[in-house]
Amino acid sequence: MFSKTKNFFAGLLLTLPLVAATPAHAQARGVGVVGVDAAIQQTTAYQAAVAQIQSTYAAQIQQAQTRAQALQAELLPLQQAAQAAQQANPNAQTPPAAVTTFTQRRQAAEQELATLNRPVTLAQQYVREQIAIHFNDSLEAAMTASNVDLVLEPNAVAALAPNTAANITPAVTTQLNTRVPSVQAIPPAGWNPGDTLRAAQAASQATTAQPEGR
């Protein structure tokens, strides 16, 4: 019954497939809507881990925020100069020097901030993956509890009434809380995004490939 949900979770960025309304879906018991990111981020494990990350990396976070403010102050006059140059010569065949300068400096600033934020970003991804590997099972349980057999992602829905029972995101969060009461906040040395997902997938495939006992 739930075979299609196994394809919902395909990587670090989880998405639910857009399911079009067809006659085949007319017999669906119920249609639910799930926000994958919201379901994960509302879990007790995620929120506790994020609090720990903010505490552990407080110095790095402060450094990145301070540097971001300095870069913003530096980029503002460059942006203004670029805008003035464009307005002075809107039909220029090549970008004015001021535009090129601003673009290059902005890209360098973005790379610098990404480097400063990398420890925090990496930890957040690590936390997310530890919870996400339980998403499929949690979704299936929430679908059963909510009497739903067709699930859509929020951006596939034209309108959704507030507090509607069709939104089963809280139900998925509840199931995740049961399965993942806590996670590690700090990734081990050498951990890279996707490692936890790949390890879980490999373990699942190994289990599936084992011959049945005679």
First to last CA, the chain: 27
Domain edges within the chain = 3-135+148-156+166-190
Rounded to the nearest integer, the mean pLDDT of the chain is 86
Q: Is the pLDDT of residue 1 over 50?
A: no
Q: Picking from 13-27, 66-80, 103-117, 174-188, which range would have the lowest pLDDT averaged per residue? A: 13-27
Q: Picking from 23-32, 139-148, 154-163, which range would have the lowest pLDDT averaged per residue? A: 23-32
pLDDT, average across residues 40-67: 97
Q: Report the distance separating Cα 79 and Cα 106, nearest Å.
A: 9
b/e burial code for range 69-85 (CB count within 10 A of at least 16 → b): eebeeeeeebbebbeeb
Q: Report the distance separating Cα 113 and Cα 107, nearest Å.
A: 10
User: What's this model's pTM, rounded to 2 decimal places?
Assistant: 0.79
3-state SS assignment for residue 31: strand
Taking only the tens place, the pLDDT of each residue in 61-111 is 999 999 999 999 999 999 999 999 999 988 888 999 999 999 999 999 999
